[in-house]
Amino acid sequence: MLESDQSEVTQRVALVIQYLGTHFHGWQWQPHHRSVQQEIETAISKVVGYDVTLHGAGRTDSGVHAAAQVAHFDIASPIPPYKWAAILNSYLPEDILIRASAGVGKDWHARFSASYRRYRYTIYTDKCPNLFVKAVSWHYYNDPLDEELIQAALKPLIGRHHLSAFRRSNSKRQHSWVDVQAAECCREGPFIHIEIQADGFLYGMVRFIVGMLVQVGSKERSIFEFTNLWKNERREEVKHSAPARGLCLLRVGYPDFPFPEEVWFDNQPKLVFS
């Protein structure tokens, strides 16, 4: 442990973080459960000898993964910002990795400076289960899924909409307006990848959307019915939430970001085998 020296000039350090969400109860601190924020804050405190608060770009739910979560903390320490990644990785468990660290200005904030978040949901459609993809995809094999229908259903979501139909009832957010910047679906062999990018996300939003999109892809529900459902805010009809394990926070975007693209842009390998 390094001796902390509060006389040091406080610096703000940004982190790009990966984690497998399987054994975490989400990003945020939980009183009686393991969280990503808790593990990293504990690691930082072991280095400097005092408690430090970590501010994340957003919260991920229990079981959700992250390819490039972003967070920052303020620290009075002689350690150069770029060295924090390697130092913290020596303290962190196997299911968390700091890809890089860098110094940022005092007015830069992991949450409030972000211009978008992008999530990817992976669905595995082969009839035969596969252990090696189980932890990071939803094995959906009941009906064939038409990815072109899913893509067509996603298109009307682009733009600013009131998406209360895709919001969990215990959400504490004051409104349901979301600026959806991109929404895409593609197939790679037995895998369907759905990506949604927005300025922010409602609690449970992506998993609700995917849960309803599989009904479109299986032709159980029409594109018109799906679109009409969320445009008319018929929350009572949204009864299917996709499992957490298929969801990954792919990246967070900023107008001013100190990391090169290879560190944060697209670091969840796509499952593509046929």
Q: Report the DSSP beta bridge partners of residue 184.
A: 195
Phi and psi at residue 109, in whole multiples of 5°?
Answer: -135, 130
- Using left for φ > 0, alpha for ψ between -120 and 50, and beta otherwise, residue 50 falls in beta
Query: Which residues carry out catalysis?
Result: 61
Contacts of 224 (CB under 8 A, 6+ apart): none
Q: Are 69 and 18 in contact (CB under 8 A)?
A: yes
Q: Are 229 and 237 in contact (CB under 8 A)?
A: yes
d(CA 114, CA 255): 7
Task: Work out the burial of residue 107: count CB atoms within 10 Å of its CB; fewer than 13 is exposed, 13-18 middle, 19 or more buried.
Answer: exposed
Angle, CA of 31, 36 and 38, to the nearest 5° = 45
d(CA 208, CA 161): 16
Q: Please report, for the chain, how many H helices and E strands are present, in that order.
A: 7, 10
